[in-house]
Amino acid sequence: MATSDDQNETLRRQALDYHAQPVAGKISVQPTKPAATQQDLSLAYTPGVAAPVREIAADPLAAFRYTIRGNLVGVITDGSAVLGLGNVGALAGKPVMEGKAVLFKRFANIDVFDIEVNADSAQEFIDTVANIAPTFGGINLEDIAAPACFEIESELNRRTDIPVFHDDQHGTAVIVCAGLINALELQAKPLAEARIVCLGAGAAGIASMRLLTSLGATRENLFMVDRKGVIHSRRDDLSVYKREFARDTDRRSLADAMADADVFIGVSGPNLVSAEMLQSMAPRPVVFALSNPDPEIAPALAHATRDDLIMATGRSDYPNQVNNVLGFPFIFRGVLDVRATEVNQEMKIACVNALAALARESVPADVLEAYGLDRLAFGPQYIIPKPLDPRLADFVPAAVAAAAVDSGAARAPYPSHYRPRD
């Protein structure tokens, strides 16, 4: 019988072969115009290329018409927080950025240049990315450690005229909120009244709590927990970002925070929640244990402990996978199609509502076939759409684009080929 170590070694070899063969890497650049004749070459380069150069020099927005900019996203990292591997450096983060490029192309037909930046400070990274921003129609920041990621995203949004979106923050937050809205409805718990515990006070945790408050969660009902315990107002070691969620409370440990909680959201590490903690939660709890590959509490243990819970994880082999691919490709599709200048709160909320609504629709046969299922319907085992659901490309970009137009973030009208506006 194969051991776990044998299986891990097999997977490692398969992954290395996948990335190395038949050519190194996962992406390439392909021309979109012919270059077979002298006339082709004269149009592609000199002298013909001078015509779009002059147009863009006169009007920078013309770059969206005459270059790839209108369908190009920069996926950019400093390698300081790569997956669960930590600060491996910019170059070692490149396989992940190439993987992100594959997902952008596969799910939303968006082209990507991946950029890995060696930077000794947040300011050096900001300056580098700001200086190359004219290349892109949008920027997806990835795998950048907190708290620097907050400053980097904010400053780049201030310095550029294109959306800068840190997916580890907002992509995760959007999917968490969409799933949680549906789970709370099934559990008959209003968001405004729900007591919520978030274990993990990094990029994903803080962004998720911010978005939940925008959707109606009550700040006084939120408990955020980091490695040192509950984030409370008497701690003197809090960053400005954690201080935003400091509570005036006598609760100190995760176990203290979990007692009578309606919702647990874990964006931290494996096996940090015990059966006793889960048992102490309120009736009909919602548990999002999103640490990957090993959740904060194993689904088998969670379901054995409580038969009244709704659970989500970050894994594809359990129901209700919280997967960022449900968000970022389609958010950027909507953003690029209306030439938006930012991804604002209205656009994120629109994405949340679109994802939540899609999970309540009847599931078509091709989705069932893709996942080898006979039936799938809105309920405790299905609160979030499946990543291979082709309707995502219809629901989410349309919602994001409409919100961009309505909020004044768009530089182009709502596309005529999109689904009719609600």
pLDDT of residue 5: 81
Of the CA atoms within 13 Å of residue 319, those in its CB half-sphere come to 18
Q: Mean pLDDT score of the chain, rounded to an integer?
A: 96
DSSP string, 25-91: SS-----SS--SSHHHHHHHSTTTTHHHHHHHHH-GGGHHHHSGGGGEEEEEE-SSSBTTTB---TG
User: 143: closest CA among 324, 266, 334?
Assistant: 324
Q: Given a cut of 80, is residue 4 above it in pLDDT?
A: no
Mean pLDDT calculated for residue range 81-93: 92
* Identity of residue 334: G
Whole-number Å distance between alpha carbons of 402 and 290:
30
Q: Which of 18, 26, 33, 45 is catalytic?
A: 45
372 CA to centre of own chain: 26
Beta bridge partners of 232: 247
Q: What is the pLDDT of residues 323-368, one digit of tens each?
A: 999 999 999 999 999 999 999 999 999 999 999 999 999 999 999 9
Which secondary structure element, helix H or strand E, spans residue 343, and what is its range?
A: none
Is 100 a catalytic site residue?
Answer: yes
pLDDT in the model for residue 1: 64
Residue found by looking up tokens 């679109």 in the block: 354
The yes-or-no verdict on residue 2 having pLDDT over 80 is no
**Tokens 């006169």 label which residue?**
58
413: left (phi over 0), alpha (psi -120 to 50) or beta: beta
Which run of H or E residues covers position 205?
helix 203-215
Which is catalytic among the residues 100, 189, 348, 386?
Answer: 100
For each of the domains in the chain, give its residue range(s) and CATH number, in order of start: 42-162 (3.40.50.10380), 170-313 (3.40.50.720), 325-407 (no CATH)
**Cα–chain center distance at 262:** 24
Q: Indicate if 348 belongs to the active site.
A: no
* 286, pLDDT greater than 70: yes
**Side-chain-side CA neighbours of residue 312 (13 Å):** 31
Q: Can you tell me the distance from the alpha carbon of 117 to that of 204, in angstroms, rounded to the nearest whole number?
A: 22
CA distances from 99 to 75, 113, 132, 205, 296 (A): 10, 11, 21, 23, 25
Q: Which two tokens stand for residue 387?
A: 């990543």
> pLDDT tens across 10-64, in order?
989 999 999 999 999 999 999 999 999 999 999 999 999 999 999 999 999 999 9
From the CB of residue 251, how many other CB atoms can be counted at a distance below 10 Å?
17
| Per-residue model confidence as pLDDT tens digits over 114-153 | 999 999 999 999 999 999 999 999 999 999 999 999 999 9
Kind and range of the H or E run holding 264: strand 263-266
pLDDT digits (tens, 9 = 90+) for 185-234: 999 999 999 999 999 999 999 999 999 999 999 999 999 999 999 999 99
Burial class (CB in 10 A: 0-12, 13-18, 19+), 217: buried
Mean pLDDT of 177-186: 98
